[in-house]
């Protein structure tokens, strides 16, 4: 049975003065599945005439909209489809600021069922008002999952009645910024301590948030981190650690039954507040070393027949998964939950690239793609020298937008396990709400369009045009957004190829390339391509050792200049070399030392820096050896090109 209803949309907004001429579907984000434009416009005279019909048989969240000279007709599959139709109409009407809209027909349906955005409220606490404000923007761009990272070393953020010390003590710290706390003693403070920073949400506040989101067709997914990233838990309840003492470890003891009582009690209260299908349990970056010497963990491994600590963590994840499933829910974990064996029914959130997600799909598990290279919004979105503090790196709007979750290597018969995409914003360096908002918008729009629209309907230039319109609207609504119209862009040297004498020449490596930062492999240093603002752009090659390479120029030739550029970014542990030694040879056997170039950049400098380690010389040579000695800080070395002229 079909029903017809007439709605008065945006009654307050439409009382405002009309300031624009006719606008049509060319402004919509995400881009719809199908648009047919017609001659004519629908002129508003007071309230627009909108009729809605519910139609069975359409895909979930889908809608059809027809704008004629007489009014607007919407067909929707369900409540969500109807809601999204009105978000489309809201964009077309410019929030009630246009005097007419173009006649058209729109057929629209989401590509993926999961279109998410992540909020780290542990490192820096966010108000409920801030979260509601972001929900409003998310809903406008048809996003439907809010992932809240409620717990981590920096603070526990949810009231748990069974364990009050989590919020009385584990939610507070002496220092306001995460960076000061992390670089200090990493202590916690009692609630009410003068000057203490922190906070937590009561259950009523979270229930209110969940309902606010539900009304906008957004599901709030809580994350309770385990077994690692749990320093705040173990400070409040040290008996849950292997050591049994506070401030010793960051991982829960899997050998103790008390740990599982704690987890089940906490998750029971979490699930009473959050009705979400998914419960995120973390599972990432656990330091498993102390489990190897813990008698209780070792006894657990013996009793359960576990061969290593990876399987010990898997035991915990599987056990927690069974408990969550017994309550009618499902777990999500970061891709480390693959280590040691993946729990039946677990969904994997793939962040360390896409390999973990692809592996999980092949095993028959659902996957949400959120690879750091494309989806981590804590990286600078423009030239780092002009942007507010971030974790480093460079992830502009275009780089987020071009990511395609369905990679060619994914087996077609497993693609139904690809649930969607999520953008993540970790808040270590993002203290203020306004700064966080600036980092989300407009890049979250790119996540939204990738999650909703088909890849063949996407176009970078057209998307940027639509984003500029959307940003103006967000600013009018009081959002602090990145000014895309003033974008500086990529490092200028990285925008053109570079010719030099060593370009295309063979390079012999004496030290291994770090597996995550292979770039173009053994052609990287002589491919004529200069690196950009970030070490993860596949132009910079990374090493956890010295860099020691020899370039074969093919024949003896005059060599007047040898040099290479390194970067430094203290946050993620990228440092300049101590020094670079440069050698030349005519036969590849006997080498002459021609230069020793020392570093003069302090390892304490936290800015993104570039430095050329080079020399002017006057020699004849066929072979050039370039040896960069690793920093005393034992971090990464990143080099993009070795130039010989």
What are the residue numbers of the active site?
A: 152, 229, 285
CB count within 10 Å of CB 356 equals: 23
- Whether residue 498 contacts residue 641, with contact meaning beta carbons closer than 8 Å, is answered with yes
Q: Measure the CA angle with vertex 472, ends 468 and 477; round to 5°.
A: 145
Task: State the SS3 of 187-227.
Answer: CCCCCCCCCCEECCECHHHHHHHHHHHHHCCCEEEEEEEEC
Handedness of CA 184, 189, 195, 197 (dihedral sign): positive
DSSP conformational letter for 293: T
Of 117, 140, 106, 64, nearest in space to 457 by CA? 106
Phi, psi of 551 (to 5 degrees): -100, 130
The CA distance from 562 to 250, in Å, is 46
- Whether residue 173 contacts residue 189, with contact meaning beta carbons closer than 8 Å, is answered with yes
Distance of CA 57 to the CA centre of its chain: 35
Q: Calculate the alpha carbon distances from 165 to 1, 157, 428 in Å.
A: 55, 12, 23
Q: Measure the CA angle with vertex 518, ends 515 and 524; round to 5°.
A: 155
The CA distance from 280 to 347, in Å, is 9
Please tell me whether the peptide bond between 30 and the residue prior to it is cis, using omega within 30 degrees of 0.
yes
Calculate the CA dihedral of residues 436, 438, 441, 447 and round it to 10 degrees. Answer: -40
Q: Where are the beta strands (DSSP E) in 252-313?
A: 278-282
């Amino acid at each position: 049975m079909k029903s017809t209803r007439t709605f008065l949309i945006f009654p307050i907004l439409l009382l405002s003065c009309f300031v624009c001429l006719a606008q049509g579907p060319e402004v919509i984000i995400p881009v719809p599945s199908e648009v047919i434009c017609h001659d004519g416009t629908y002129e508003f005279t007071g309230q627009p005439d909108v009729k809605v019909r519910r139609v069975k048989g359409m895909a979930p969240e889908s809608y059809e909209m027809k704008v004629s000279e007489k009014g607007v007709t919407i067909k929707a599959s369900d409540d969500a489809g109807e809601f999204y139709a009105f978000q489309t109409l809201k964009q077309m009407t410019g929030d009630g600021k246009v005097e007419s809209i173009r006649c058209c027909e729109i057929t629209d349906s989401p590509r993926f069922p999961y279109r998410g955005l992540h909020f780290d409220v542990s490192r820096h606490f966010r108000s409920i008002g801030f979260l509601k404000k972001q929900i409003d923007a998310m809903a406008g761009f048809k996003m439907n999952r809010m992932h809240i990272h409620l717990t981590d070393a920096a603070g526990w953020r949810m009231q748990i009645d069974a364990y009050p010390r989590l919020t009385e003590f584990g939610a507070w710290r002496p220092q306001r910024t995460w960076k000061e706390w992390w670089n200090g003693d990493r202590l916690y403070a009692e609630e009410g301590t003068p000057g203490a920073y922190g906070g937590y949400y009561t259950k009523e506040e979270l229930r209110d948030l969940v309902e606010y989101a539900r009304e906008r067709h957004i599901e709030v997914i809580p994350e309770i981190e385990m077994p690692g990233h749990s320093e705040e838990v173990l400070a409040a309840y040290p008996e849950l650690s292997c050591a049994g003492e506070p401030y010793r470890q960051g991982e829960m003891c899997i050998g103790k039954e008390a740990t599982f009582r704690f987890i089940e009690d906490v998750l029971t209260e979490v699930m009473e507040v959050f009705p979400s299908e998914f419960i995120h349990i973390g599972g990432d970056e656990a330091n498993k070393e102390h489990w190897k010497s813990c008698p209780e963990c070792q006894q657990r491994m013996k009793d359960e027949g576990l061969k290593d600590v990876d399987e010990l963590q898997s035991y915990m994840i599987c056990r927690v998964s069974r408990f969550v499933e017994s309550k009618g829910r499902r777990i999500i974990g970061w891709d480390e939950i693959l280590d040691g064996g993946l729990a039946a029914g677990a969904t994997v959130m793939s962040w360390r690239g896409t390999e973990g997600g692809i592996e999980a799909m092949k095993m028959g598990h659902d996957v949400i793609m959120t690879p750091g290279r494309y989806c981590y919004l804590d990286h600078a979105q423009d030239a780092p020298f002009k942007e507010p503090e971030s974790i480093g790196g460079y992830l502009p709007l275009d780089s987020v937008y071009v990511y395609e979750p369905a990679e060619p290597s994914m087996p077609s018969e497993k693609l139904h396990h690809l649930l969607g995409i999520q953008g993540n914003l970790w808040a270590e360096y993002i203290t203020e709400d306004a700064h966080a908002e600036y980092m989300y918008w407009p890049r979250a729009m790119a996540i939204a369009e990738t999650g909703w629209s088909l890849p063949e309907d996407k176009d970078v230039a057209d998307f940027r045009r639509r984003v500029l319109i959307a940003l103006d609207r967000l600013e009018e609504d009081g959002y602090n957004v990145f000014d895309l119209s003033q974008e500086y862009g990529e490092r200028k040297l990285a925008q053109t190829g570079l010719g030099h004498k060593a370009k295309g020449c063979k390079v012999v490596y004496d030290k291994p390339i770090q597996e995550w930062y292979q770039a173009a492999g053994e052609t990287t240093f002589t491919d004529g391509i200069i690196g950009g603002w970030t070490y993860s752009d596949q132009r910079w090659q990374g090493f956890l050792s010295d860099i020691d390479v020899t370039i074969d120029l093919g024949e003896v030739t005059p060599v007047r200049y040898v040099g290479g550029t390194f970067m430094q970014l203290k946050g993620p542990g990228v440092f300049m070399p101590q020094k670079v030694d440069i050698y030349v040879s005519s036969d590849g056997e006997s080498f002459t030392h021609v230069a020793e170039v020392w570093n003069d950049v302090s390892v304490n400098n936290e800015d993104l820096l570039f430095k050329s380690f080079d020399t002017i010389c006057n020699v004849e040579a066929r072979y050039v050896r370039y040896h960069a000695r690793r920093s005393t800080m034992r971090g990464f070395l990143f080099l993009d090109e070795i130039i010989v002229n």
